[in-house]
Structure formats: C-alpha cells, structure tokens
Chain A
Amino acid sequence: DAGVTQSPTHLIKTRGQQVTLRCSPKSGHDTVSWYQQALGQGPQFIFQYYEEEERQRGNFPDRFSGHQFPNYSSELNVNALLLGDSALYLCASSPGFGELFFGEGSRLTVL
C-alpha cells in the first residue's frame, strides 16, 4: 500500500515565477492538507481540501491556492514566488477525521 506521494521532490525557481506541487493521498484517504516548513521550524498549516473544496485555511496569502481532484489527489499552486517561499512543502492525507499521514515533501528553492 503506497503512502502519501509528492512530486517533484526538489525544484528550483526564480522570484516571480509560479510553481505547482502535486500530492497523491494514501489509499482510502479523502482529505488532503498542505503544510509549509521553513528551515529549522515546525510545519505551518496552509490549507485543507475535502470533497474538492477548501475547508480550512491557515494564515497564508492568496498567492497560495490549491485544488483537489475527484480521485482525491491535490495540487498546491504558488504564484509570484518570493525568496521567503523557499521551504519544504508537505502534503498530509487522512481518512476524514482520522490521523494525518505525511508525505516526504517537495523542497522548493527560490532564487
């Protein structure tokens, strides 16, 4: 049984560009959450998707947007990249109200 898979694992962008990160949840999980983890800090909640809708959102600007597809997979989009967006982006899935299972993350570097 595959766990949470994320792609790409590493990527480099320049300021002002746009990036799309992808997440496939664990089998049987219908809820996907995204977290941002800056170097040396704990993960920070970005938003959560359930039934293809954004259900909760953390304190992140509108440059951060997402989508959930009918097969429960999800994308995180970040527009107008800033140097401060450099971080590990983590996807977590859960079966409804169940425990969160995290992927290995996508490491984004903005130059």
Chain B
Amino acid sequence: DAKTTQPPSMDCAEGRAANLPCNHSTISGNEYVYWYRQIHSQGPQYIIHGLKNNETNEMASLIITEDRKSSTLILPHATLRDTAVYYCIVSYISSGSARQLTFGSGTQLTVLP
C-alpha cells in the first residue's frame, strides 16, 4: 500500500469547517483513499472513502485532487465531539480478501470552543 503523510496536529474552532490534508504521492491506479478517526480510548470509526471522484456522506466530504496525489477531508461544521485522531489510509481491494489497512500516525484534530 502507498504511504501517506499527514500533519501531526491541527486545531479548528467549533462550528467552522475542519480541513484535514493528506499526501499520497505514490498512490497507484487501483488504490482507494480511506479516512478513519479514533476518539480517545475508542476503536477507529470509518468516515469515508473514494477512488477518483469527490465523495460526500452525512459525516464528511472527501476531495481528491485530479492527479490523486493528495486529498482533503472536510468536516463542514466541526463540534467538540469531532476531536480525535484522523487517519488517512491508502488501500486496494484484493479479490478474495477484505481490506488490510495500514495506519500511520494520523492527525490529532482538536476542536476548540
């Protein structure tokens, strides 16, 4: 799986959009970009994933650049409960097996009141 680079920490004001960047310059054509988050002392939680096109769900939006070498996770209206470590992961779907995820160190997002 391709390696990802994320800033170690970010702050965001409550109610504002949180934009979390991720670089994955060695991503290959069949690799997806996944985002998970981990709130302190809990298991990781799936947020969103995408291949080429921008994606949106009830939690967040994922913007992938045209060359697919970087992406941004957007939390449109951050709340205090969004304070967590956010992991950007690149992974491919291998036929015959579910996804094996390689987690890096992630970005610690702190939402400030």
Contacts and interface: CB of A to CB of B under 8 A. Distances in A.
Contacts, number: 59
A56 B97 contact: yes
Interface string A1-44: 00010000000000000000000000000010101000001111
B44 A99 contact: no
Interface residues of A, number: 27
A31 B42 contact: no
Contacts of A35: 103
A48 interface: yes
Contact of A42 (B41, B42, B87, B98): B87
A98 to B, nearest CB: 7
Contacts of A43: 44, 101, 103
Interface string B33-74: 000000001111110010000000000000000000000000
Contact of A103 (B41, B43, B85, B98): B43
Interface of A: 4, 31, 33, 35, 41-45, 48, 50, 55-56, 58, 90, 92, 94, 96-105
